Amino acid sequence: MQALTRRQLVILVLLTLVWGINWPVMKLGVTAYPPLTFRALSIWLGLPVLALGLLALKVPFRIPRRHWPELLWLAATNMFVWHACIILAVSTLSSGRSAILGYTMPIFSAVIGALFFSAALSLRGWVGVSAAALGVALLLWHELSQFAGRPAGVALALVAAATWALGTQLLRRTKIDVPTLAISFWMTAMTAVVMSVLSLLFERAQWQMPGPTAWGAILFNAVLIFGFAHAAWFYLARGLPPVASTLSVMFIPVLGVFSGALWLGESVHWQDWVAVGLMMVAIASVLWPARAASR
């Protein structure tokens, strides 16, 4: 497994904090506002922040025309399905458990990689995937009975996770030879259009001016999620092997569970604490330097 550079480690820590805390933030937002419209507004307001980042770093926006079909496919698998499905799932499930279901993605990614991309896993990789799967199962322990009455939310979260897993595999193997920030910008722009169309089709009658809580959640998502987190994730996903990049973010659902418990009063049980240890095992299995590399 590939060890992280110092830059990748800093980005990973910041990404984990931002994405983990965002789960209860999203729950607050969609409780007070229509979910698809919430997501569309967040993306449109985050797009200028991302554009300023490209300008500040002198990253060119241009992507050659021959790459646009592949870029559209990458946007569909990495962002369209994920954002539409997961924001609807958050509106019906608790924030922590939505995070857990969403972050079944590494397990899907390992299976997809093995079945369709001939990505053989090392022993450490299998240990990591197994630890992550067991951790997810423990985090879901007290929710299974409630999930029985919310099949739509569960199905949406799992579809989002599986599609994102495919997108991560494709992003790692993309032949688009432009900076990752440019890819992130145009995928975000296309997602803004898609989410706006969905909002118009399904939530037009619910449109209204957001209240203070909804505005706070929208601005948090605009600046930190779409202005930073997605670009950071795509940078890691292109620079690390798929298993390493996906398992490295497995602490996010744990943070989602505990931040949801702190802010929203969602329950925490002993299984959650055991899951923390298992997620740390999963992360260490793919990011801890091998002996040969250390020497």
Q: Is 280 in a helix, a strand, or coil?
A: helix
Please report, in angstroms and rounded to a whole number, the separation of the first and last CA atoms in the chain. 15
Residue 25's contacts (CB-CB under 8 Å, 6 or more residues apart) are 216, 217, 220, 221
Domain residue ranges in the chain: 6-294
pLDDT at 141: 67
Distances from the Cα of 112 to the Cα of 117, 119, 243, 271, 282, angstroms: 7, 9, 11, 28, 18
pLDDT at 283: 62
The residues of the chain scoring below 50 in pLDDT are: 1, 292-295
pLDDT at 293: 46
Cβ proximity of 16 and 240 under 8 Å: no
What is the C-alpha to C-alpha distance for residues 226 and 49, in angstroms, rounded to an integer?
8
